[in-house]
Amino acid sequence: MKIGASAWIWTSPLTDGEVERLAPHAAGMGFDLLELPVESPDDFDYAQAARILDKAGLDRTICAAMGPDRDLIHPDAAIRQNGLAYVRHCIDAAARVGAANVIGPIYSAVGRTWQSTAAERERDTEMLVRQLSTLAAYAQPKGVTLCIEPLNRFETSFLNTVEQAIPVIDRVGSPACGLLLDTFHMNIEERSLGGAIRAAGDRVRHFHASENDRGTPGAGHVPWREAADALKSIGYSGPVVIETFTDKVKTIAKAAAIWRPLAESQDGLAREGLAFLRALLG
């Protein structure tokens, strides 16, 4: 497995200067991969980032930031169209930067919650399947996979669990559409992390190793051995990325809810988390 770090650990938004600074910094710590959030389409140059990351010897992924005007199942058609255009941009960004995955809650704006009847949920699910099918067809020829992330109940009311996400992935039925699982969200929503990972099986294409408080992996109460054993049992060999946030993050600031320091330093969080995951995963 390649172990990565989200650029959100250190900075927001990600700019050309920050890519140039963070790539050798993360590589020097021993990371294999840097996750690149696209908060705005013009934040950084993708071709230039590819050259910098290649020089640092780092793999990379693209992280979608689903803000209020980026939503694939919103009642407002204009917001849905903007969401589609934004995700297409992220797919293009991934192709230009040399990333295999575009990851995130690629269905609704982070922080949007609403009550649904069973009929309304099925209507929205059908809409999402159509939207993701279109996007997966766009992504597949470019060698890019969409990795759909269930979030906790405070950040979305739509996909909270693996059980809810599996039918969406299966109905899309494309090799360019899989799952991203994040231990922070799973620790809130899943009765068993190991059981959820095993149920997801080969649909898992990306994994976020996040502590229960968004602090240093291994310093909290996430059942890490259970998660590691489950990943091994499904034969997972994809990226494992530490995702937490600087308090500078704006796009999803309210949902991320980083109101206090989570470690003595962001570098310390990254280094100690990496050492923990190397020992855990081998």
Each residue's pLDDT expressed in tens, for the chain with a length of 282 residues: 999 999 999 999 999 999 999 999 999 999 999 999 999 999 999 999 999 999 999 999 999 999 999 999 999 999 999 999 999 999 999 999 999 999 999 999 999 999 999 999 999 999 999 999 999 999 999 999 999 999 999 999 999 999 999 999 999 999 999 999 999 999 999 999 999 999 999 999 999 999 999 999 999 999 999 999 999 999 999 999 999 988 776 666 566 777 788 888 999 999 999 999 999 998
Q: How many CB atoms lie within 10 A of CB 6?
A: 26
d(CA 98, CA 233): 29
Which entry of 39, 189, 243, 272 is annotated as an active-site residue? 243
Q: Is the pTM of this model over 0.85?
A: yes
What residues pair up with 62 in beta bridges, in sequence order? 36, 102
CA 178, 148, 112 angle in degrees (round to 5)? 165
In sequence order, the 6+-apart residues with CB closer than 8 A to the CB of 86 are 41, 64, 70
Residue 39 a catalytic site member = no
Is residue 206 within 8 Å of residue 241, measured between CB atoms?
Answer: yes
Is residue 205 within 8 Å of residue 178, measured between CB atoms?
Answer: yes
Instruction: Return phi, psi of residue 39, to 5°.
Output: -75, -40
Q: How many CB atoms lie within 10 A of CB 281?
A: 16
Instruction: Return phi, psi of residue 189, to 5°.
Output: -100, -30
d(CA 53, CA 59): 7
Which entry of 149, 155, 190, 272 is annotated as an active-site residue? 149
- Strand ranges in the chain using DSSP code E only, listed in sequence order: 3-6, 33-38, 59-64, 101-104, 145-148, 177-182, 204-208, 240-242
- DSSP state at residue 203: G
Residue 189 a catalytic site member = no
Question: For 98, left (φ over 0), alpha (ψ -120 to 50), or beta?
Answer: left
Ordered structural domains, the chain, with CATH: 3-281 (3.20.20.150)
Please tell me whether the peptide bond between 13 and the residue prior to it is cis, using omega within 30 degrees of 0. yes
